Structure 1
Amino acid sequence: MHYDQFMGQVQNRLQLSDGGKAVRATRAVLTTLGERLQSGEAKDLAGPLPMEVDRYLLQADSGQRFSINEFFDRVCERETVDRSDGVYHTKAIVALLDEVVPAGEMQQVRGQLPAEYDQLFELSGQD
């Protein structure tokens, strides 16, 4: 999938009025996910993504430990949206990743996260 297709999917799924908001949501979610994953896993997850998007995972300070609530707080702060929008945006972008990234890779991502993170996968085929 090319960058424009990926961002178009994000914009459509999140029903955002412009591409800039889609980029901001994507950056917020992927940066936060990159922070929570180990660096090797973030790199593996980034592999099949467009290079304009994979950098959010690759440039994150990987290997941090924080709760799912902190995850959502970070996304909301980065994206400057309220909690319900941030949670929905996170789940929708993870669902898109589930479609774009090989299934085995998404299983490895899920395996690195504690059970409380299962809710990230509620909109994806991984649930």
Structure 2
Amino acid sequence: MRYDTFLGQVQARARLDNPGAAETATRASLETLAERVPATVAEKLAAQLPREIGEHLRRVAYAPDEPASGMRMSPQEFFDRVAQRASADRPKAMHEARCVIEVVDEATGGACSAKIRPSLDDELARVLFAGSSGHT
């Protein structure tokens, strides 16, 4: 999937006004995800995404000034971090993050579900993957 197609999908699903808002939602969601999962998992997922999208995972997973990858956080903390990065409230951040994850999962042929879900607490996985094809 191409970068502009990816952002268009996020924009449409999240009902955002423009591609810039889709980019913000994508960046906030994937940077937070990169804090939560092991760096090796983030890298494997990033390698399957358009370069510009994958960089959001790599930048945080390997940044020396960022929190360690794989840190545990509750769903509330996860979505609060997304909201802070996106300058949004938690309900909006939850909706946008779910949309981003759906598009990532489709863009990677289900690899998001397969690689990321096992790295998450059941509660966070259930909330984050709600409605996605990877939800079981």
Q: What TM-score do you get using the length of structure 1 for normalisation?
A: 0.94
The reply on whether 1:2 has 2:9 as its aligned counterpart is no
Aligned pairs, number: 127
1:58 partner SS: helix
1:31-50 alignment, distance < 5 Å: 31-50=31-50
What is aligned with 1:119?
A: 127
User: Partners of 1:10 and 1:103 in 2: how far apart?
Assistant: 16
Q: What TM-score do you get using the length of structure 2 for normalisation?
A: 0.88
The runs of 4+ residues in structure 1 deviating greater than 4 Å are none
What letter corresponds to residue 44 of structure 1 in structure 2?
K
The Cα of 1:14 is off from its aligned counterpart by 1.1
Runs (5+) with no aligned partner, structure 1: none
1:60 partner SS: helix
Contact 1:92/1:123, CA 8 A, preserved across alignment? no
Runs (5+) with no aligned partner, structure 2: 62-68
1:20-59 alignment, distance < 5 Å: 20-59=20-59
**RMSD after superposition:** 1.2
User: Partners of 1:105 and 1:2 in 2: how far apart?
Assistant: 17
What letter corresponds to residue 81 of structure 1 in structure 2?
A
The reply on whether 1:110 has 2:104 as its aligned counterpart is no
1:12-53 C-alpha deviation (Å, 9 max, x unpaired): 111111111111100000000011000000001111110011
Overall identity of the aligned pairs, in % = 39
Distance change (3 Å), C-alpha of 1:13 and 1:115:
same
